[in-house]
Amino acid sequence: MAEVTKLIHEYLRHDKKFPHVWCPGCGIGIMLGALIRAIDRTGFSKDEIVMISGIGCTGRLPVYVDFNTLHTTHGRALTFATGVKLAKPSLKVIVIMGDGDAVAIGGNHFIHAARRNIDVTAIILNNSVYGMTGGQFSPTTPYGMKTTTTMYSNVEQAFKISELAITAGAAFVARGTVYHTRGLDSLFERAFMKKGFSVVEVISHCHTQYGRLNRMGTAVEMMEWQRDHAVTVEKAAQMNEEELRDKFKVGVLADRELPVFEDEYGKIRAMSKGTPAK
Amino acid sequence: MKKGIEVSIAASMAAKLARVEVIAAYPITPQTHIVEHLSELVANGELDAAYINVESEHSAMSACCGSSAAGARTFTSTSAQGLELMHEILFIASGMRLPIVMATVNRALSSPLSIWGDHSDVMAARDTGWIMLFCENGQEVVDSIIMAFKIAEDRRVLLPVMVNLDGFSLSHVIEPIEFPSQDEVDRFLPPYSPLYTLHPDKPVTMGAYAMPELYTEAKYAQEMAIVNSRSVVAQAMEEFGKSFGRSYKLVETYNTENADFVFIALGAINENIKTAIDALKEEGKEAGLISLRLFRPFPVEELLTALGNKKRAAVIERVMPGGALNSPLYNEVSSLVHAHNMNLSVQNYILGLGGRDAQPEEFMEIFRTADTKETSKKDMNFTVIGVRA
């Protein structure tokens, strides 16, 4: 307990009014805890970290933490982050988004940040729905599920955020759940230490909107669903397609060395300065 | 018979009564209830329309342009950042002469982030070529949405129409509202019959590249359309009055006949101003209100008539000028006063930003102080009410 209290006093804003805005049972608070523990372990100072968010339930997170923070517009957090990183490459830039923020309104920025492989960490809490605005379907709402805007059933296919990030060119991609809390700590830590665009997709639940409409039970039952449907990358390697049908992989899905944008750009700048003017 | 109903829900009921065929929208507070209820109506089979839930407001307005160009009666709704994200496409809708109707639930713009009401969103979009109506109460919202389609689709107009209602202070309140029957609305608003539409048998091009020798003429034709739409809006309001028994005017007045002093304002705030005017009357003082229901095109003649030979006016706005000499409505009133050599002293007051209440007492105070203010010696003419140093 003492350790927890120390972290709270160190990283949460003392002047902020608690309790936070999230519903009782929400996974965002669990993710916030994991974030703070991971940052503490990496040894970054609070002033070295910039936490940037857009809009939505998850977008509220930086409001509560004592780092440099930017609360921006819906979907654009990664573009603000790109500006911060290029202006001050020494800063550790962490972007916090929800699924609507990251892959709907900000989807284009997400794939291009990955393609560019800029040294920014994107943390995406995926709860399959727009929670704050009333439970509308998002690009990660699975086919066939109910939301307030798909009252019969969702007819669109869902994005797989991690797979999208891998294909788009991110150097590091991992997926965890808020059920596997301690696992999240280490995924975050590895993502922060990775040079290049790192993505951690956090599978969470919205029992208030999505869970209620789809009769998935309480927050605890939805977390048990995460437990029962997550398989580690190692275990998945030994399973066949049929066994993996209704499962999702957790753990590090990609970890590769790729040219990092600001390094490459720095080289060009150095070269251009060294070239005599015509 | 009147029904007690949330104004947002009433707005969606009005869109249903107008038999909209396509709705494309993205959730944003405080607009969400409108499109959410429409999606329910579509899902329940009560409204035969295509509901497109897109990935951003930019896509919402783009999809609306597509469906309107294909000849469908199209509706959407947004607020604040959503309207600004649509900004690029707002010009496309008006330039292509697409009669889309949008309910804009007015909200403050970020940053700092605020979900509460003011007019910074609509004022940033005021010159996009859309016809703009402002509503004071829920009944006006319902009636305006029905009228908006009539105006937009009129072949003398063919322009998009924005119906503005204040976020929360109007959108989220429950008011007694009278709904016309479907038959009555059908008689008032016949099915949309587009002049030009995208069709494989009779192909047309919309929004094509215009070289310098054509662009000016295209924009001039569009400008004439919006300027001339003023009489069509007035006509639609008159016809609405005959059909439904509730008459509206481009510019409404309240107690102006007895007063030398008038407030000029837009939106739901006007009901508080009327309360202030009533209270002043009890003190034996006379103030009037000029309420602009139509903001674009600017109702020049009607405003001049309403102003008559008033001595003093206070223009009340819920938006910061952003570096301009004064706030937008003031600037227009001021240029009118100048162009017509009117002997009218006009003051500019800014209040109600980001959801801050504007109480009748504040308007009473404005009335009391407006008289004594020195204006010419100040660099900035506007006064922000209630700002803490």
Digit-coded pLDDT (tens) for B170-204: 999 999 999 999 999 999 999 999 999 999 999 99
Taking only the tens place, the pLDDT of each residue in B37-63 is: 999 999 899 999 999 989 999 999 999
pLDDT surpassing 50 at residue A194: yes
CB A141 within 8 A of CB A154: yes
Domain spans, chain B: 2-244, 251-384
Task: Look at B110 and A73 and tell me if their CB atoms are within 8 Å.
Answer: yes
* Res. B140: pLDDT tops 60: yes
User: Which of A55, A104, A151 shows the shortest C-beta gap to B43?
Assistant: A151
Which residue from A minimizes the CA distance to B111? A72
Q: Measured between beta carbons, which residues in chain A are less than 8 angstroms from residue B9? A: none
| Average pLDDT taken over every residue of chain A | 94
Note whether B176 and B13 are within 8 A (CB).
no
Sign of CA dihedral A17, A22, A25, A27: negative
Which two three-digit tokens encode residue A272? 């251009």
Mark which residues 51-80 of B lie under 8 Å from A by CB.
51, 53, 55-57
- Express each pLDDT in B247-289 by its tens digit: 999 999 999 999 999 999 999 999 999 999 999 999 999 999 9
> What is the predicted pLDDT for the residue at B138?
98
CB-CB under 8 Å, A149 with B51: yes
Dihedral angle sign, alpha carbons of residues A36, A39, A43, A48: negative
Rounded alpha-carbon distances, angstroms, from residue B104 to A173, B10, B109, B129, B145? 40, 14, 13, 15, 11
pLDDT digits (tens, 9 = 90+) for A142-157: 999 999 888 889 999 9
- A38 within some domain: yes
- The structure's pTM equals 0.91
B365 is written with which tokens? 């105070």
**Chain A, window 108-137: residues with a beta carbon less than 8 angstroms from a chain B beta carbon:** 130, 132-134, 136-137
Band the pLDDT of B374: cuts 50, 70, 90. Answer: low
Q: Which residue has the tokens 């109600």?
A: B352
Residue B110 reports pLDDT greater than 90:
yes
Distance CA B8, CA B107 (A): 14
Which member of B27, B81, B111 has the closest CB to residue A134?
B27
Angle, CA of B348, B349 and B351, to the nearest 5°: 155
pLDDT at B375 over 60: no
Query: How many of the other CB atoms lie within 10 Å of CB of B155?
Result: 10
B32, A137: Cβ pair inside 8 Å?
no
Residue B164 near residue B134, CB atoms below 8 Å: yes
Count Cβ–Cβ pairs < 8 Å, chain A vs chain B: 50
A110 belongs to a structural domain? yes
A71–B113 CB contact, under 8 Å: yes
Going by pLDDT thresholds of 50, 70 and 90, the confidence category of residue B380 is low
Q: How far is A60 from chain B (nearest CA, A)?
A: 11
DSSP labels for chain A? -HHHHHHHHHHB-TTS-SS-SSPTT-SHHHHHHHHHHHHHHHT--GGGEEEEE-SSTGGGGGGGBSSEEEE--TT-HHHHHHHHHHH-TTSEEEEEEEHHIIIIITHHHHHHHHHHT-S-EEEEEE-SEETTTT-EE-TTSPTT--BTTBSS---SPPP-HHHHHHHHT-SEEEEEESSSHHHHHHHHHHHHHSSS-EEEEEE---IIIIIHHTT--SHHHHHHHHHHHEEEHHHHTTS-TTTTTT-EEEEEEEE-----HHHHHHHHHHHHHHSPP-
A76: contact with B, CB 8 A cutoff: no
Q: Are A199 and A191 in contact (CB under 8 A)?
A: yes
Looking at residue B44, what DSSP letter applies? T
| Contact yes or no for B15/B75 (Cβ under 8 A) | yes
Please say if the pLDDT value at position A277 is more than 80.
no
Beta carbons of B49 and B22 less than 8 angstroms apart: yes
The token pair that represents B246 in the structure block: 């509730």
* A174: Cβ contacts below 8 Å, ≥ 6 apart: A162, A187, A190, A191, A198, A199, A200, A201, A251, A252, A253
d(CA B174, CA A96): 36
Classify residue A158: in a domain, yes or no. yes
Yes or no: say if A209 and A126 are a contact pair by the CB < 8 Å rule: no
Phi, psi torsion values for A205, nearest 5 degrees: -130, 150
User: Token pair of A113, please?
Assistant: 């940040």
The mean per-residue pLDDT over the stretch A258-272 comes to 93
The CA distance from B113 to B116, in Å, is: 9
How does pLDDT run across B113-125, given as a tens digit for each residue? 999 999 999 999 9
Model pLDDT, residue A78: 98
- Confidence band of B377 (pLDDT split at 50, 70, 90): very low
Selected residues 10-49 of chain B with any CB under 8 Å from a CB in chain A = 26-29, 32-33, 36, 39-40, 43-44
User: Nearest-CA residue of chain B relative to A134?
Assistant: B32
Place of tokens 């707005």: B11
Q: How far is B20 from chain A (nearest CA, A)?
A: 17
pLDDT at A50 over 70: yes
CA B35 to chain A, closest CA, distance in angstroms equals 9
Interface test mutation site (partner B, options A73, A80, A157, max chain B beta carbons within 10 A): A73
DSSP B333-371: HHHHHHHTT---EEEEEE--GGG----HHHHHHHHHHHT
User: What pLDDT, on the 0 to 100 scale, is given for residue B338?
Assistant: 94
Cβ contact (<8 Å) for B39 and A134? no
Chain A residues whose CB is inside 8 A of the B120 CB are: none
Residues B299, B305, B311, B312, CA torsion sign: negative
- Distance (Å) from the C-alpha of residue B56 to the closest C-alpha of chain A? 5
The nearest CA of chain B is from the CA of A21 a distance in Å of 14
Rounded to an integer, the average pLDDT of A238-253 is 96
Domain B251-384: which CATH number of 3.30.540.10, 3.30.70.100, 3.40.50.920, 3.90.76.10? 3.40.50.920
Q: Do A136 and B44 touch (CB under 8 A)?
A: no
Tell me whether residues B55 and A71 touch, CB distance under 8 A.
Answer: no
In the block, residue with structure tokens 């481009």: B250
Instruction: Please report, for residues A27, A148, A243, A259, the alpha-carbon distance to residue A24 in angstroms, rounded to integers and kept in the order given.
Output: 9, 21, 34, 42
Q: CA-CA distance, B235 to B139, in Å (whole number)?
A: 19
Q: Do A149 and B36 touch (CB under 8 A)?
A: yes
Burial state string for A143-180 with b = 16 or more CB within 10 A and e = fewer than 16: eebbbbbbeeebeeebbbbbebbbebbbbbbbbbbbbb
Given this model, what pLDDT does residue A278 score?
A: 46
Pick from B8, B32, B53, B86 the residue to mutate for testing the A interface (most A CBs within 10 Å).
Answer: B53
pLDDT of A46 above 50: yes
Its domain, for residue A49, covers: 3-272
Whether A277 is covered by a domain: the verdict is no
* pLDDT tens column, B150-167: 999 999 999 999 999 999
* CATH for A49: 3.40.50.970
Under DSSP, is residue B206 helix (H, G, I), strand (E, B) or coil?
coil
Find tokens 């590895």 and name the residue: A190
Contacts of A152 in chain B (CB under 8 A): 43
Task: Yes or no: say if A156 and A143 are a contact pair by the CB < 8 Å rule.
Answer: yes
Concatenated DSSP letters for B97-157? T---EEEEEE-PPSSS---S--SHHHHHTTTSS-EEEE-SSHHHHHHHHHHHHHHHHSTTT
* Yes or no, beta carbons of A148 and B39 under 8 Å apart: yes
> What's the pLDDT at A14?
86
Residues with Cβ within 8 Å of residue B227, at least 6 apart in sequence: B297
CB–CB contact B32 A134 (8 Å): yes
Rounded percentage of chain A residues whose pLDDT exceeds 90: 90
Q: Under a CB-based contact definition with an 8 Å cutoff, are residues A200 and A213 in contact?
A: no
The whole-number average pLDDT for the span A229-247 is 96
What phi and psi values does residue B285 have, to the nearest 5 degrees?
-110, 150
Q: Does the beta-carbon distance from B43 to A136 stay under 8 Å?
A: no
Confidence of residue A1 (pLDDT cuts 50, 70, 90): low
Do A37 and A66 meet the contact criterion of CB atoms below 8 Å apart? Answer: no
Number of domains, chain A: 1
Q: Residue A275 has what pLDDT? A: 64
CATH fit for domain B2-244, picks 3.40.50.970, 3.10.129.10, 3.10.20.30, 3.20.20.70: 3.40.50.970
Asked if B48 contacts B22 with a C-beta cutoff of 8 angstroms, the reply is no
Whether the Cβ atoms of residue A108 and residue A63 lie closer than 8 Å to each other: no
Which residues of chain A does B79 touch, with a Cβ-Cβ cutoff of 8 Å? none
Q: Are A95 and A120 in contact (CB under 8 A)?
A: yes
- Alpha-carbon distance of A109 to B58, in angstroms, equals 14
Residue A278 lies in a domain: no
- Nearest CA-CA distance, residue A75 and chain B, Å: 9
pLDDT confidence band for B236 (50 / 70 / 90): very high
Q: What is the mean pLDDT of residues B350-355?
A: 97
CB spacing of B81 vs A74 below 8 angstroms: yes
Measured between alpha carbons, how far is A254 from A165 in angstroms, rounded to an integer?
9
Selecting from A105, A148, A149 the residue whose C-beta is nearest the C-beta of B56 gives: A105
Asked if the domains B2-244 and B251-384 are classified in one and the same CATH topology, the answer is yes
Angstrom distance (rounded) from CA B186 to CA B259 = 41
Please judge whether B43 and A137 are an interchain contact, meaning their C-beta atoms are less than 8 angstroms apart: no
Residue of B6, B12, B23, B26 to mutate, testing the A interface (most A Cβ within 10 Å of its Cβ)? B26
Rg from Cα positions in chain B:
21
